[in-house]
Amino acid sequence: MYNVGVAFEVLHEGKGAPPGWHKATGHLCWDMKLNFERKARWVLDGHKTENLVGSTYAGVMSRESVRIAFTIAALNGVDACDADIRNAYLQAPSSRKDCVICGAEFGFEHEGKVALIHRALYGGKTTGKYFRNHLRSCMRHLDFVFYLADPDVWMRSAIKSDGTEHYEYILLYTDDVICVY
């Protein structure tokens, strides 16, 4: 639960949540990676919250976009690489005003205290949307613009080391990234 801690602001003993904050529930989720690395994550009980109107999902590029990007890389002699955004959803701020009563999983020093949730947590119905919006603002900050045919393909003009102009592309699949540069 070490990585999830950034999502919470644990209040002092006896202090309640500010007005307008709603009590949420969650639980620990355990995972073991293929390299036997163990991971514990506190997730929201999203199935207990109201249904929302509109898209709540993170973005997914199309297979055709991936094929085109690799073709562009091969034809222009540029590199392509992939990456994973670790603990992706925790990077995104949450606009929901949720709080929890800390249990033993928060550490015995915090048990019974109120914790405000400031980041998007796994399990929430709007988590994917918050992460997608955060990632889109980061891409704009880096001067990328999305491609109209696929809003999860981002591009910006660049200059190779030999002085020729080309485009750099970033393709997003939730928290996985393909870079063509």
- Say how far apart CA 167 and CA 165 lie, in whole Å: 7
Instruction: Let me know if 41 is exposed, middle or buried by CB neighbors in 10 A (0-12, 13-18, 19+).
Output: buried
Round the average pLDDT of the chain to a whole number and report it: 91
- Rg (the chain; Cα; Å): 20
pLDDT digits (tens, 9 = 90+) for 111-158: 999 999 999 999 988 899 999 999 999 999 999 999 999 999 999 999
Phi/psi for 48 (5° steps) reads -100, 0
Q: Would you say 55 and 152 are in contact if contact means Cβ atoms under 8 Å apart?
A: no
Total-model pTM = 0.81
Nearest one of 131, 149, 6 to 59, comparing CA atoms: 131
pLDDT score at 1: 65
- Say how far apart CA 119 and CA 4 lie, in whole Å: 9
- Of the two residues 117 and 59, the one the predictor is more confident about is 117
Mean pLDDT over 14-43 rounds to 91
Q: Would you say 126 and 56 are in contact if contact means Cβ atoms under 8 Å apart?
A: yes
Q: Would you say 11 and 114 are in contact if contact means Cβ atoms under 8 Å apart?
A: yes
pLDDT digits (tens, 9 = 90+) for 94-110: 989 999 999 998 999 99
